[in-house]
Each structure stands twice: as structure tokens, then as C-alpha cells.
Structure 1
């Protein structure tokens, strides 16, 4: 029998499993009968591992052994600003491990245990695999796993590695908003030109999430304790875990009530029991910056799509935090009071979308499903830096994924055995104004005259959003490959929009730069090849040789504001050396540029 393929939403706060079989999507319950499982791991001091809701409850005994929000740590360096600013909110210990990767430490059976985010994700996935196999009564190997759109190549590869370690073969990493949209489209009779927008606010979709809102409440409660009860002590892990739980409960209550009570027992000296009333308005005020951040991202997404607000027929809510009334109000207000679509389950829709994608990739007859076209695109252009720092675009923005494009490079100098290219993301013609992603070098190249040895540099983005750069010397087996820390979505919509705006506002500047660079590059190549021919043909034009050597050296450092100097050198080249090159039939000379300096 062909394998059943399941879908998994490996969430920051909660995870869930879903499968499409016999024409319907089914969310699979865990051993407690729940359709979502908290992404929470507890390591009891005496040994063992507990996952899910029971782990949250047990962690009250020893909060520093209760691990959660692991997804926020995946694929990041320990000194990442994002990690550093959240360290104080976690009751468990996080430190720098091998290659500056974060590790989580805890004591178990009188031994200090250290786990990486990848290992912890593996533990959660193993548990989900066990649930799925129990419900389906068969072994499950193949899976589609959802990830945030902003996950970069490292984060995606860690997710793939954790899945492999847990016994899964991942057929696809599916972006969470795409999964939510897929779930909605499957359940509704949608016309071909129907345009919907998914507002996904879950555990970490905007690079912030539900626990950030809990932290806003926690900060407010601590502020009240300091101001009203003279509380000065640093909160210990036990109190922090208990208080965080109460903050999370209060946040949920405020989605349906105007106020919530937070009871604090035995935490403040001389005040054995404190009850703090948290009003919805206070919560909304404390979290207003976070709320606004999501709307700013929403706005830039709409602007970048070049689709008018009026053309968007449905605004679909996804993720637990979309239950917050203020969020719903702000999103609706942004669309002119539009009624929001709440028809899909905010906690389950991502897993359901993963199950539908899984069915599309499955060959099991029980999972036959009508094919739907889903398209991920490159948000900003990708390319290489040229000799003169011009952006040579290889993959243009809005190109559908997966995609692969290449550019052929030739050697600048005679006998050169190494070529390096720098990889950038952005829309400016000057690569230094774009985002640097990494470098790819290939050495051991065949020696050849200038411009005569060809190397193909290829950029490939697969369906999982992982970018690979490859260099291959043509007519040889010399190949170098590197995976680049590219993020198909880690640039916020705000950053993307700013990049596009900067390109639009500087079109004339960029055009001028392009003309300057192409003439400068032509001159550099001209001098290199002219000097090569003088040497190979044993010609003696000493003054011309000195002029060429000095000009080549000077040109390397010239910028666009020195275009007059470049123009003068260009005119001198025509009068001093063109006739010599023609008379002696110089080889490999570059073609004269068609552009001109003004």
C-alpha cells in the first residue's frame, strides 16, 4: 500500500496534525482527545519526557524544566538580538553552544542536560508522529510541515533535519499563510478570479505572537506590583511560570470579557494574596505597538501586491491571536469596515492546509484530490555583483518558485585560477545599496587568456524556499556549491516596500550609475587585455603601457562622482591605443559599450 501523507502544523505555541482522506480533511486528536497539542516539553527531575498540555501543568513544579516556544530559537545565533531581548521572559536557561547556536539546559537525574532547538523540535515531532500513527492505525513516514513565511534557509533546514531525526520524510515545507488560504479555498466555492487576503496572527507569524502579548501583560503586572506593593525582588522561575500562565489566561478571557482577574498568591512579602483587575482597555493600550506593527506589515503587503483594498473580496483570519477584539477591529477598519471572514478554525486551519498539500503530493488512492495551483514568489530580485559593483539580476522579483537561473562569468586576468561572486537581494543597480547574502568562490580553474575561461554561476530556489548557489567551470568537472542564508520571507513587508520605494525614487541615479559602471568596466577589461597582447606579441609601447597600467589601477577605486575622469580616460584610450590594437590584430579585446557618459 502507498504511504499516507499527513500535514503537520509545527507551531510556536501549539501544534496539530491533519490528514485528507476519502474526500474530507480530518484533524487528528492526541492521546487526551484534543485537536491541538501545546508545543511544550517538560523534563521531570527524576527522568523522562512529557509533551503537551500535561507538560504545561507539570512544569509548575519545576518551571526551569518546562521548555516552550522552541520555534523562536530555531536557526538563530545565540547573540541574535531577537533571542537576547526575550531571554528574561523564559524561566529555563539558554546559553551559547557550538558555533554560537543556542542550547537549552536543565537538570534531570542529578545531571545537567543540554538540548538544541533542533533536538527539541524532534521530540515534539516524534510525539505528533505517534499520535498520527495511533489514529490512522498504520505507520506514517511522509509529511508536509508548515513554517512561517519569514523562515530563512537555516531555519528551514533545521526543521527538515528535525523531521528526518523523528522518522519523517518531508515532501514539502509549506508557508503557514499559504496553508491557511488553501484550507479556506477548499471549504468554499471560490471563483477563479477571487482575491483573498490571509491575516495570520498566531504564535510567531509576524515574528511576534501570542506570548509577546502575554509579556505585555506580565510587564504591566510587575509594574503594578512595584508601584502599589513595593515589590523589588527579581521574579524567580517558579513565580514567572505561574504568572505567565495567569497572563495567558487573562488574555484569552479578554477576548470575550471586558476585564479579567489575576490572582497572585504568596509572591509578595506581607501580601499573601493579591488580586489585580486587568481591563481590556489597559491590555489594548499596553499591546498597542504590537497591534500596530501587524497592521503596518499588512499595509505594506497590500501596497506591494499592487492590488487595491477594494479588490480584496475576503479577509481571512488565522491564528489564535485573531480572536482579540481590538485586532479584529483594526483589521476591519483598515479595509474600510469590511466584515472579516472567521469561517476557518484559527488554530486548525494551517494543519488542514498542510493536509491538503500532502494529499496533492500523495499517490495513495484514498488521498485523491483535485489539484490546485499554489504559487510562492521571490519578494525581491536576487543577483550577483559585477566587476564595477553593478547588480546583475539573475532571478527577478515575483518569479514563481521553484526557479533556477544562471549567469556566465569569464576570467578578468590571464592565468586566473579563482573567481568569486557576491550574492545580493534588492532592486538597486549599485549592489552596495542592496542586501548582501553571501559569497561563492570556485578555485582550481583552468588557466586561460583573459575573458576566455567561462564559469556558470547558478541560483536555485527550491519549493521549500532554500537558495543554493552553484559555480561550474564549463567543459570541466570543477563544481562548487553553497547554500545561502537567504530568507524568502524574513524581510518584513515594510523592508520590502522600502526597498522598492528606494528603487523607484532613484531611477535616474541608478541609470547614471549603470552607464558609469559599464564604461568603467569596459575600460578595465580593455586595459587588461591590451597589456596581455603587448606581452604576448612582444610589442614595445612603453608610454602606452604605463598609461594602461596606471589607468587600470585608478579605475578600480573610481566612483560615479568621478565620471569626468573616466570620460577623459575613455577619450585618451581612443586616441592613444585603438590604432595600435587594430594594427597588430589584438586578440580578445572587449566590445565597445553602447552607453555614454553625459
Structure 2
């Protein structure tokens, strides 16, 4: 097995592969000689699969057989509004199978049903085969980039597609982080002075912002924000819709029911968008588009395009602003604004970013389509065991946005992973059963800073059942919370007696919550510190009361005292029932109840030597 590790940018529009070897970064060209590979998959009548440039060309002729924008379907449910919006513009069939999007290809002899994962695998297989042909030896290890806002489903589908293609993925690297690595490497950024950079990464399908702190060779990711459904394809779709409206009003024709014409229209609009990045105006020419006209010419100016996309362009600036607020920095704190992604070639985008940063010079790549793959290659070299890939170490650190933990039986938060903990990380706590012969434990998983768990953000639930029967407090369950290098949170529970285990994977990427929510959660905890202290004291009293009553009842039962001390036994049972419905506003009542029960049962406890009391 080769130790060489490559870096792959699996993009919405194009994919790219890079390698750092012998102290040099190089793009690995595909078998057609291209530096980037269109993320297109085409199925022939005989169901043969073609990937890349030729697939894109053939899709122009038979659009229902050419699949693209796969990344926008990855890890999503069919009823996702983003998926439904995309279907308006896609010329191939996408059907609902158990609420999963499935691409349908009508072959000559059979109908094919392909998952987005399968199509990603085809692209990765081509990348693997082309890279091996270029290097002359097998390649089975890679770092693959993903949008910072990819959720757990999207990340896991990417990992599964890579495994299916024959890759071992050493790391899923967030795209803006990859762009920053490429920039720092290319510009030989060094020195011990601390500085802040902002990466603005706008590609074909996704948009990411990352704020990074650099000191020496250490890069810390302070915060990210973004949108998994905002990019160059959305700008194309605005032009497509604009042209469709003109065709309807002037020519009484809508192409939306003609897949081939919609594919052609999409190509023309994409090309017009690119031309408008270097020219003030262009013309969208539609030859033989409708039977009544040999040729239709629709002029479009850069200003018209900018007006069409004004709202979407503005959204990217709002996200930049939001990200800076989250990390408590101002735009004046940012030393470098790094642009990556092909859509940053749009002049209006560059102007808006420069204006936002008061005229600051923007840091641009010669090839913004390649910088993410190059960053992945730098990360790959750091993880490689191949001596030829040795690289001056740049340490990249990602951190948890908010604290993570579980609630206990009185809704108090147990913090397992504190806010700003470097990733990957893991932490374990132990829980004991509250009730006699308790058969299951349920752990509600939260993200946030409040002591009252219910005031935090609920992430999910883990339940472990069939616990070993035991007296109250005598069966223990170890709960482990871990976040891996790919940003996937796993919560597992293991009963210490039988070693029975159960785990659940939770979406832990910054995309699960808006950064405004993250910032507000921190401020909320700070402003409600007194309230949290009050809740903590209340939870301690309530927890003690329930455990004291349950264990007293257990001892009454085991020692045959339930009838002798029926009043005390019944009051314990009633207190357990009553206390479950009492909140922090009932703190005086819960304290009074605890004192009454302890006074009532304490003499009996001492007389009969009760066991396992709290």
C-alpha cells in the first residue's frame, strides 16, 4: 500500500486533486489533460458510465442522462425545500424513494436508480484512477474537503462514497480552512505576530466564511458561518429565470417542460455570467430554440445581472458580518481577506467585500478553483507517512462552538465538553441508576451554556435499555461524548456491569445552528448567571430528595418495614411523585419537603442501618 496522500476538492461544479511532494504543490491533471474535472456523470444507452469533461459535453445533447450538481443532493431528504427548489432547474429525473432523492436513468434495457452517494463515488473513482495513472502507483489515502456547513448526514455520505471508491479518508477538511492553508503556504506567511484572517469562499454550490487566528505556524479556527445552498449555480438560475420570463412575455414560449432546451439555456446563462465578469455586457443567443424563430438574442448587461443577484450577493456580506460578531472581532481586526472559489471572480462580489472592509486590498488566488484542493494537499502532507511528502508543520486547530453535555434526572446540565475545546476530543462521565431495578436510562443531549439543560439547544437523545437489575444507585452507566477530526459527534453509553453498549451520532457542525444563536447562547448564560446559580442549588436539593426517598423506600421494602412505617413509606412515594412536577420557582416547597422527609425517615434509617443512602 502506498503512503502517499492526495488532497481532493469534491466540488459542486468541478473537482480538483492536488499533491504536495518534494516540497512542491502540484495539481494532478486528469486523463484528458485538464487541471479540473467537471463534476458530471453521464450514462450511455448501455448504462456505461462516463465522468468529467466528456460527460458534460454529452449531457448537452442528452440532458436526461447527464447528472450534475450532485453535491446539492448529498445527505438531504427529498422533502428538503432546497432539494425541491433544485428540481425546478435539473433536467434529469429525481424521484422520492423513502424520502431519499434517487436519480432515475432510463437505459435501453433497464431503469437505473442511483443515490447521490453512488454518483459521488463515480467521480472519486475517476479521480483515483487518473491520479494513479499520473503518479504511476496506487493511491488509496486522501484528505477530502467539504463545506464547513455540511451536516453529519452530508459528511457521512461523503465518507461512504470515498470508501466505495477505494479511498481511506484521513480527514474531512472544511473548505475555507483548506483555502487559508493554501494562502499561507503560497505566501510564506511566518513570524510570531498574531493576526486575524477572514476566508470568503464562494463556489458553485456553497458559501463559507471562516475567521482564523494565525501566530507562527499555528492556525486557530475561531468561527465559521455559511450557507450550503448559495453559490454560482444560484446566480445561473437567476439568469435562467430572467430569460424564461422574457421568452414567455415576448415569444409566448416556456422552455421549462423541455429538458434539452433547459440544459442549453442553463449553459448559455452560465457562459453569460462568466463573460459579464470581464465585459460590461453580452448577448444570450438561442439558436433553433423555438420553431417560430431561427435565432433569439437576449442582451444582458453586467448591471442587470448584478440587480438580479443583489439579494444573494447581499446575503454573503450579512454572513461575513455575522461571523465577525460571533468571534467578537471588528472588520478592522482583520489583516487579510482571502478569496477562494470560482464565483469570487464576479466584480460586484469583490467590490462589495472591499467596501465592507473599507477598501482593504483583497487576497486573491491566481486559480481560485484550485486553491481548496491545494489546501487539502497541504493537510494531506501533514498526515502522510511518505518521507517525500514531508512539510513544515502548520498546526490547524478547530474548536467547539458551545459546550456539550447531557441532562440528569432533574434536568441539570452535566457539561462533558466545554466551549472552545480543540477538536478532536472526548470526555466520559458516569451515571448511576436512580430507581430500584431500573431497566433503562435516557440521556438528552444538549448544546449550550445554561445549567438548566432545557434552556439549552436540544441535539438528540440516547437510550440504553435492558440494564442489569440492581438496587437504586448500584448499576452504573458510563457516558462518553466524542467529536472526531471530521466534526462528527458520537455519544455512547456503556453499562459497567454487563458491558452492554449503545451509541448515537449527532450532527455537530456549526451549520446546525446559526452563529447568531451561538453568540446569543453565550451572552444569555453570562447575563443569567445568578439565575443559573439558583437553579443549580434547586437541582441539588431536588436530586437529593428523590434519591433519598427512593432509597428509603427500597430499604423499607427489603427489610419488611413498609407496613410498620406505612406513613413514612407513603410520604416518600408521594414526595417522589410530587417533586417531579416542581420547578425552580418552587424551591421553598422542595426544600421544605426535603427537610420533612429527612426528619421523618432519619431515625428509622439509623435504627435499621439503611444501606446505599445518599
Residues 589 and 269 of structure 1, relative CA distance in 2, 3 Å threshold: farther
CA distance in 1, matches of 2:245, 2:188: 50
Counterpart contact for 2:407–2:446, Cα < 8 Å: yes
Match of 1:17 in 2: 17
CA distance in 2, matches of 1:25, 1:547: 75
1:546 partner SS: helix
Match of 2:493 in 1: 471
Alignment of 1:177-326 (within 5 A): 177-190=176-189, 191-192=191-192, 193-203=194-204, 204-205=206-207, 206-207=227-228, 208-231=230-253, 234-268=256-290, 270-326=292-348
CA distance in 1, matches of 2:232, 2:527: 37
Q: What TM-score, normalized by structure 1, do the two folds share?
A: 0.93
2:362 partner SS: coil
Counterpart contact for 2:468–2:497, Cα < 8 Å: no
Match of 2:570 in 1: 546
Match of 2:106 in 1: 107
Residues 137 and 338 of structure 1, relative CA distance in 2, 3 Å threshold: same
Counterpart contact for 2:2–2:137, Cα < 8 Å: no
Counterpart contact for 2:579–2:590, Cα < 8 Å: yes
CA distance in 2, matches of 1:485, 1:310: 33
Q: How far off its partner does 1:420 sit? A: 2.0
CA distance in 1, matches of 2:283, 2:152: 43
Match of 1:594 in 2: none
1:452 partner SS: coil
Residues 559 and 201 of structure 1, relative CA distance in 2, 3 Å threshold: same
Counterpart contact for 1:141–1:168, Cα < 8 Å: yes
CA distance in 1, matches of 2:3, 2:525: 49
1:508-530, Cα deviation, whole Å (9 max, x unpaired): 44444433333322222222122
Unmatched segments (≥5 aa) in structure 1:
591-598
2:392 partner SS: coil
Match of 2:32 in 1: 32
CA distance in 2, matches of 1:276, 1:506: 59
CA distance in 1, matches of 2:365, 2:267: 28
1:376 partner SS: strand
CA distance in 1, matches of 2:304, 2:527: 41
User: 384-393 or 236-245, which moves further after superposition?
Assistant: 384-393
Residues 187 and 477 of structure 1, relative CA distance in 2, 3 Å threshold: same
Unmatched segments (≥5 aa) in structure 2:
208-226
1:25 partner SS: strand
CA distance in 1, matches of 2:527, 2:348: 36
- Alignment pair present for 1:451 and 2:473: yes
Residues 20 and 84 of structure 1, relative CA distance in 2, 3 Å threshold: same
CA distance in 1, matches of 2:552, 2:291: 85
Match of 2:92 in 1: 92
User: 55-64 or 230-239, which moves further after superposition?
Assistant: 230-239
RMSD (Å) for aligned C-alpha atoms: 2.2
Match of 2:131 in 1: 132
1:474-524, Cα deviation, whole Å (9 max, x unpaired): 254322233334335443434433443444454444444433333322222
Counterpart contact for 1:104–1:115, Cα < 8 Å: yes
Counterpart contact for 1:332–1:338, Cα < 8 Å: yes
- Alignment pair present for 1:481 and 2:481: no
Match of 1:73 in 2: 73
Match of 1:375 in 2: 397
CA distance in 2, matches of 1:413, 1:53: 65
Q: How far off its partner does 1:287 sit? A: 1.8
Match of 1:83 in 2: 83
Q: How far off its partner does 1:11 sit? A: 0.8
Residues 169 and 232 of structure 1, relative CA distance in 2, 3 Å threshold: closer
Q: How far off its partner does 1:19 sit? A: 0.5
Q: How far off its partner does 1:230 sit? A: 3.4
Match of 1:384 in 2: 406
User: 324-333 or 262-271, which moves further after superposition?
Assistant: 262-271
CA distance in 2, matches of 1:551, 1:237: 69
CA distance in 2, matches of 1:454, 1:74: 40
Q: How far off its partner does 1:289 sit? A: 2.3
CA distance in 2, matches of 1:323, 1:509: 51
CA distance in 1, matches of 2:37, 2:535: 55
Match of 2:215 in 1: none
Counterpart contact for 2:406–2:443, Cα < 8 Å: yes
1:186 partner SS: helix
- Alignment pair present for 1:586 and 2:610: yes
Q: How far off its partner does 1:315 sit? A: 0.8
User: 392-401 or 190-199, which moves further after superposition?
Assistant: 190-199
Q: How far off its partner does 1:144 sit? A: 1.2
Counterpart contact for 1:201–1:320, Cα < 8 Å: yes
1:332-358, Cα deviation, whole Å (9 max, x unpaired): 222222111114531111110111111
Q: How far off its partner does 1:272 sit? A: 4.1
CA distance in 2, matches of 1:234, 1:352: 39
1:69-91, Cα deviation, whole Å (9 max, x unpaired): 11111122222232123221211
- Alignment pair present for 1:555 and 2:556: no
Counterpart contact for 1:149–1:490, Cα < 8 Å: no
Q: How far off its partner does 1:3 sit? A: 2.7
CA distance in 2, matches of 1:219, 1:498: 38
Aligned residues, how many? Answer: 589
- Alignment pair present for 1:400 and 2:422: yes
Structure with greater strand share of residues: 2
Match of 1:364 in 2: 386
Counterpart contact for 2:444–2:460, Cα < 8 Å: yes
Q: What TM-score, normalized by structure 2, do the two folds share?
A: 0.90
